[in-house]
Structure 1
Amino acid sequence: MFRTLRLDAVLIQAVIAGALSFAHLHDLAAAAGQDGWKAWAYPVSVDLLLVAAWRRMRKDGGNRDAWLWFAIALIASLGANVATAGLLDMNHVPDWLRILVAGWPALAFLGGTLLAHAPSPDPAAAPDREPMPLDEPHHEPAAELTVERVPEPAPELPPADPAPKEAPPEPVPLAPAASVPPALLDHARKIADAHHAQTGAPIDAATLRARLGIPAPLADSIALQLTSTEGR
């Protein structure tokens, strides 16, 4: 949606001031030896540098480079207005002024390039600060006190009951020795001695039973008697 352009006193004054400044810059450039279209390009260069510096100042706030180039362009415009007001002989322009006019395009190009490529401040990096009221004193926020709670000791558990020791097995009572005939006992002793001589170990009841062909209880009784006899 286009804005309606209102003709007020400020706008009219701006048009008049711009036209006069444009004409004065053209006349000064023509007097300094810049004739033809070059004399018309000088006021355009000065006004463009003014606009670029003003836009950078509005965008960045207190940018020193923008203020510097704005001041340079403003001095060039004001100097042309004053010089063409009768204080300078337009037919005999001094050499230093011719040098300034001839070097202005390079200076304006440098300023425009620096203004166009200057880094813009990051608004997200600046912390948001609320304005402090003047009538209220500023109080520093109290530091938060962190209290660490010491963990309570774990309750002592009663000592566990030791594992019950297994009772030693009760000795198996030996069966009463059966009556062994002396002749059988002597024969069994000979067999036991021969077995001991061959193997180096005493004969057991199972071997006696196999050698003599007797029942198990009788073989156990003979083995017991042989063991008791050897112990004596």
Structure 2
Amino acid sequence: MTRSIRPIVLALAVIVGSLSFAHLHDLAAAAGQGGWKAWAYPLSVDLLLVCVLHRLRIDRSVTAWFWFLIALVASLGANIATAGLLDLTSPPAWLRILVAGWPALAFLGSTLLAHSPTPAGDRVPVPPAPAAPAPQPDIEPEPAPVPEPVPATDKPPALPAADRAPEPPAVPVPAALVEHARKVADDHRTRTGAPIDTDTLRARLGVPPHLADAIAAQLA
């Protein structure tokens, strides 16, 4: 609704509300409700209708629609009754009964509307309260062990057996190969006058270096 239309709607609401209020007052006064009672009847009818309309915005139940029809019939019927269809100078008994019983009916309707449960979709979810932390037992922490001082020495600590470098395994040398190598070494000494070195022995025998080392160790 735009701002330019709101004043017109408010003015219309005031006009028709005043007319309906006057009709309800006249009908209540004609039915024997004089003084302040005649002024309270229009308020009870119009306020009940407002409460029902507000309830219908959040709850379209059968109960809300039932009380909407009751309030609408009461308001519309009272306005039509003042149109000259009834002789308000001597109103009938049934009209007096309806007007006299209306306060109890309006109070019942407003109470039921106020205490009707709100639909689950319109309720605001309430977060659960955080759970209290579990109490911790009063256990004193044990003091950390103080390492004993290690005396300084110039020698590095001996490594355990598992951390030592493994010694190279002994290479098995056949006895025949050792005898042949001895002959080769003797021949080399006879010709050169010097003992044979490992490289020359390896070259003369045609063996790998590790095997030549093992043969040279046995010849020494």
TM-score (norm 2): 0.52
Give the structure 2 partner of residue 88 of structure 1: 86
Larger radius of gyration between Structure 1 and Structure 2: 1
CA distance in 2 between counterparts of 1:69 and 1:14 reads: 22
Report matched runs for 1:29-44 at 5 Å: 29-44=28-43
Q: Displacement, 1:8?
A: 2.6
CA–CA separation in structure 2 for the residues paired with 1:98 and 1:81: 16
What residue number does 1:45 align with? 44
Looking at structure 1, the residues matched to 63 and 16 of structure 2 have their Cα atoms a distance apart, in angstroms, of 25
Aligned length: 121
Give the Cα separation in 1 of the matches to 2:102 and 2:4: 34
Give the drift of 1:11: 1.7
Taking CA–CA contacts closer than 8 Å with sequence separation of 6 or more, which of the two structures ends up with the larger relative contact order?
A: 2
Provide runs of 4+ in structure 1 moved above 6 Å. none
Match of 1:16 in 2: 15
What is the distance in 2 between the residues matched to 1:13 and 1:112?
26
What's the CA shift string for 1:104-149, capped at 9, x where partnerless? 0000000000000000111189xxxxxxxxxxxxxxxxxxxxxxxx
Quote the RMSD (CA, aligned, Å).
1.9
Q: Which runs of 5+ in 1 are unaligned?
A: 126-232
Instruction: Provide the C-alpha distance between the structure 1 equivalents of 2:43 and 2:121, rounded to a whole number of angstroms.
Output: 33
TM-score (norm: length of structure 1): 0.49
Letter aligned with residue 116 of structure 2: A
Whichever residue aligns with residue 31 of structure 1, its letter is: A
Q: Which residue of 2 aligns with 1:26?
A: 25
Question: Aligned partners of 2:105, 2:48: CA distance in 1, in Å?
Answer: 10
Query: What's the CA shift string for 1:3-62, capped at 9, x where partnerless?
Result: x997532221111111100000000000000000000000000011101111110022x2
Q: Aligned runs of 1:177-188 on 2, under 5 Å? A: none
Measure the CA separation in 2 of the matches of 1:18 and 1:118. Answer: 28
Which structure 2 segments of 5+ residues have no match?
A: 124-220
Q: Could you tell me how far 1:94 is from its partner in structure 2?
A: 0.2
Cα gap change, 1:7/1:100 in structure 2, threshold over 3 Å: closer, same or farther? same
